[in-house]
Chain A
Amino acid sequence: MRRLLGLLLIISLFAAVVPLHRSLYALTQTYPDDFRSYYIPDSAHMEVLSLGYKNFWADLIFIWSLLYYDYYNRDVRYTYLERTFNVITDLDPRYREAYVMGALFAFMGQKWDLLYRFEDKGLLALPKDTVLAYDAGTYALFCEKNSERAARYFTIGMERDPNRTLFKKLLAYSLEKSGDLQTSRQFWSDIYEENKEGKTPEEKYYRGVALRNLWDIKVTIDTEALKKAVDGYKSRHGRFPATLKALELEGFVKALPLDPDQKPYAYDAKDGSVSCVSHFDFKAAFGQW
């Protein structure tokens, strides 16, 4: 009888614990986010607390942070982001995924400085790694639209893996976007030369991309030079030249450039605009896909 009563007491206490905890937990949800955040000791203390099993603790904090930072609507989530991922990467400096994910979470909050701090720390800790250079460069180029910064990261990637055309291509593209057309043209020319005899789909792709960008750069350089000359002519004569030939005759350009298809550029004397009438032949450049 006593045993049965004891058993009943245990079962009823277990049954009571669930609603009790539910009501307690519901109350904690009413606190401001700051009070529901977390605390993590700094790296030096964590190193001591880890008892030497630094990778183990880095893994645990990393997996936990993936679950925590995956929750979007929490304003306070960035308060400890830097510290959390710094602790992980201080415990395990070779943890590439931690740098990548730290940067991703920083990107989700548009915290650009923090994002690049994670990437830079990873690039220093992993001197042969190219993934972080690619990661940082693509954030800079396609998300932040900062082509100068992107060029810096792609340069690191290219220095670390000189045989990989991907970095050269991205660097050439970044330089083109940042306005350094001459250097960009040099890189695209190199890519074209390296792949002009290529038979693999990858080589054909790089050859086609190089041709396409060399075309664009030549058109941009030529039309900008002609436009400048047209503007110079207008400031001297008070009107646009009737034809582009006038620019050559009056010494504004040494010789009139031809477009990549060896045709003259189109010119509209009404507004002084210069344009390329030829079209890039994708099929010839890339072949049949």
Chain B
Amino acid sequence: MTTTPKGLSLGWAQTRALAANTFRESVRSRVFYILMAFAVAMLLFSAVMSLLTIGSRAKIIIDLGLTVTSFITVMTAIFVGIGLIYTEVEKKTIYNVLSKPLGRAQFIIGRYIGMMAVLAVNLFAMLALLGLLLLLFKGFTWKIFAAGGFIYLELAILTAIALFFSSVTSPVISAICTMAFYIVGHTSSALLESLAPRISGPLGKKAAVWFFHLLPDLNVLNVTNLISYDIPIAHGFTARAIIYTAAYVTLLLTAACMAFSRRDLV
């Protein structure tokens, strides 16, 4: 009776330490700073673009700002996330980590939590800058933070995908596969709409629909288009989106843990 809580507590302390280490490692990464600098430049550029338009400037800043925020944080998740496991294996530092009383699954989860903490800071910094720009142009809305919440859900899925691929293959292949999931995740609904009428036979159509529901639909979490027109998010949408994300993340992390536990590190 006493071993389980103690074991759990020990496991959590180690996972937390690993997460903190991942956080420190990632924020020191050069890729992280390059992407952050690019993000700041793009957000300021959105303010310049708004001066060229006719009509609402705040709309342009919100549309461009949220898209840039989403895109840059996704790039951070992919390009920092893909190296999380592979670098440790390549540099052989993983032997030091795994020689401690730490399971491989804990290693994966610790890495994931650390990466999500980095992305939270990254996302919040960009939303704060976007908020400042909107204040400057008298178009501030708290809803950009709601949109940020949904961007974070998307990041949770993408980081889990990146981590899964990072635990089984090289960074280049991981980057390609994660990018492919990102593109498919954002185009599947539009593709289904345009392709479904062209598929002949009810079986083919059903298969296409099933395949569409099976793939991670990242576009369903994209509410940026609603924010600029102040359209309310549907009742019950947030809870379902969180559950959907949690299910996908659990699925991917379980697969990553299983793949990594079987991996021969020698």
- The residues of A with any CB-CB pair to B shorter than 8 Å are 44, 47-48, 51-56, 58-60, 62-63, 66-67, 92, 94, 96-97, 100-101
Q: From residue B110, how far is it (CB to closest CB) to chain A in Å?
A: 31
Interface residues on B, range: 20 to 34
A62 contacts B63, CB within 8 Å? no
Can you list, as one digit per residue, whether each of B212-247 has a CB less than 8 Å from chain A (1) or not (0)? 000000110010110011000000000000000000
Tell me what chain A mostly uses at the interface: helix, strand, loop, or mixed: helix
Contacts of B49 in A (CB 8 A): 59-60, 63
B54, B64, B189, B194: the one within 8 Å of A97 (CB): B54
SS class of chain B's interface: helix, strand, loop or mixed?
A: helix
Contact code string B231-265 (vs A, CB < 8 Å = 1, else 0): 00000000000000000000000000000000000
Taken together as a complex, chains A and B put the C-alpha atoms of A94 and B63 apart, in Å, by 13
Contacts of A44 in B (CB 8 A): 190, 194
In the complex, are the beta carbons of B55 and A48 less than 8 A apart?
A: no
Give every chain B residue within 8 A of A92 (Cβ-Cβ): 225
Determine whether the beta carbon of A51 is less than 8 Å from that of B186: yes
- Determine the chain B residues whose CB is within 8 A of the CB of A66 once the complex forms: 52-54
The answer to whether B64 touches A56, judged by C-beta atoms less than 8 angstroms apart, is yes
A94–B190 CA distance with the chains assembled, in angstroms: 19
Q: Does B187 sit at the interface, judged by CB under 8 A?
A: yes
Q: A53-B224, A59-B60 are in contact. Are A48 and B52 (CB under 8 A)?
A: no
A58 to B64, CA, bound (A): 10
Cβ–Cβ contact A55 & B224, under 8 A: yes
Q: Return A99 CB to nearest CB of chain B, in Å.
A: 11
Query: Could you say which of A51, A55, A96 contacts B63, with CB atoms under 8 Å apart?
Result: A55
Could you say which residues of chain A place their CB within 8 Å of the CB of B67?
53, 55-56
Contacts of B63 in A (CB 8 A): 53, 55-56, 58-59
Q: Please report the C-alpha to C-alpha distance between residue A184 and residue B218 in the assembled complex, in whole angstroms.
A: 56
Q: CA–CA, A96 to B56, complex, Å? A: 10
